[in-house]
Structure 1
Amino acid sequence: MREIVLDTETTGFDPEQGDRIVEIGAVELWNHVATGRHYHQYINPERSMPQEAFEVHGLGDDFLRDKPVFAQIADDFLAFVGDAPLIIHNASFDMKFLNAELRWAKRPLLAIDRAVDTVGMARKKFPGSPASLDALCRRFAIDNSARTLHGALLDSEILAEVYLELIGGKQPDFGLSQAQGATAGGDDADWRPGRRPEPLPPRLSDSEKAAHAAFVDRLGANALWSRV
């Protein structure tokens, strides 16, 4: 199963008040394992960067001025995410901005039910505990020391580690569901373990068998192996 862990950085809190996306970072997971494929793009917001946003993200007007506007990168972004579930921390915020930008660019919107909100997952798993990304890194002993400023790609990489911990580790089902599906023609519900059609051949050599027999003889008649 393909999943995309995603984060955005913005000029503020509300696209309907003129705020825009300035950075998108996303990493690909396949069966809950990072593939190394990622998407990262800085975006010209077509407005000035507020001072408070600059202090959080470290992205200023001079840096963003020559970057593409969202409409120029929309197709590449949509191609990367495809139809995969989107793993997002505080998903309603990022989805609100992404769909506003896609709407202005006259591109298809992202279905809200594609988003998996890791804030909700954390609050359900640890009720009453802080659910910020930094708090979850401390809980799971994930190194976030490089996170001195908010950056979309770094945050998505950290979130991928947090997400895997929230679902029980990098391989929460030990890959068994995939193996079972392959054995039963893709129908996990009907899969049952069965006897091997051909027994596995012995892996002990004749010399190893003889050495073991000599060892057991030296243990005497009361040895467990002698009474079997």
Structure 2
Amino acid sequence: MREIVLDTETTGLDPQNGDRIVEIGCLELLNHVPTGRHFHTYLNPDRPMPAEAFAVHGLSDAHLKDQPRFAAVVEAFLTFLGESPLVIHNAAFDLGFINAELGRLGLTALPAQRAIDTVHLARKAYPGLPANLDALCRRFQIDTSARTQHGALTDAKLLAEVYLQLKGGRQPGLALVSSRAAKGTADPRPKRTPRLLAPTPAEEAAHKALIGRLKDPLWGRLR
């Protein structure tokens, strides 16, 4: 099962008022385990960066002016997504921006049905408690010490861990067995000889007495 965890950074909150995407970060999950494959790009938004947005992600006009525009990366971006479900925190926000960019190019929007919204998952699992990414990282004791500001790929990696916990947590034993089987490597655990435990005479007598109290047992007819 392939899924894509996705996050964006933007110039503001509303694509209908001219706000644009400035960073996209995606990473691939197979059976809820990160594969290491990812897609990441900064984008030139063709507009100045508001101070409020800069305070969130630290992406300046100087940094973004030489970055590609969305039209230059859209093919690689959509190819990476494929037809996989999209794991997004507050999916309406990110999809709204992505679909606004796609619309400017005359391309088909990504349907809302493709999104697995981790905000909804969190509110269902922990009703009444904060469902933002920082709060969920604290709840699941996910290390965020390397994150000084928001970044699309960094947040996608944190979201992947949060999503895993919301889905019930990883089962390392199963993952390791699957990995070894795929690579054809041997299980390093020592082999143990099965122990044959014979019943004692007292146990045999008790069993025989129990069987004797059964009326017309099935196995008696098979002899």
Report the TM-score when normalising by structure 2: 0.78
Any runs of at least 4 consecutive aligned residues in structure 1 with deviations exceeding 3 A, and if so which? none
Map 1:1-228 onto structure 2 (within 5 A): 1-171=1-171, 204=193, 227=200
Give the number of aligned pairs. 187
- Paired residue type of 2:112: I
Shift of residue 226, structure 1, vs aligned partner:
7.3
Query: Which structure 1 residue ranges, 5 or more long, are not aligned?
Result: 179-202, 214-223
Secondary structure in 1 matching 2:9: strand
Q: Residues 227 and 145 of structure 1: is their aligned pair in 2 closer, same or farther, counting only changes over 3 Å?
A: same
Give the Cα separation in 2 of the matches to 1:171 and 1:31.
Answer: 11
SS class of match (2:35): strand
* Deviation at residue 170 of structure 1 after TM alignment: 2.2
The alpha carbon displacement at 1:29 in A equals: 0.1
Task: State the 1:65 CA deviation.
Answer: 0.2
Secondary structure of 2:95's aligned partner: helix
| CA shift digits 1:14-36 (9 cap, x unpaired) | 11101000000011000111000
Q: In structure 1, the residue corresponding to 2:23 is in which secondary structure?
A: strand
SS in 2 for 1:95: helix
- Give the AA of the match of 1:15: P
Q: TM-score, normalised by structure 1?
A: 0.77
Once the two structures are TM-superposed, the CA of residue 55 in structure 1 deviates from its matched residue by 1.1
Residue 44 of structure 2 aligns with an amino acid whose one-letter code is N
Q: Which blocks of at least 5 consecutive residues in structure 2 are unaligned?
A: 179-191, 202-223
Shift in Å at residue 225 of structure 1? 5.6
Paired amino acid for 2:89: H
Displacement of 1:146 in angstroms is: 1.6
1:7, 1:153 within 8 Å by CA — same for their partners in 2?
yes
Percent identity reads 61
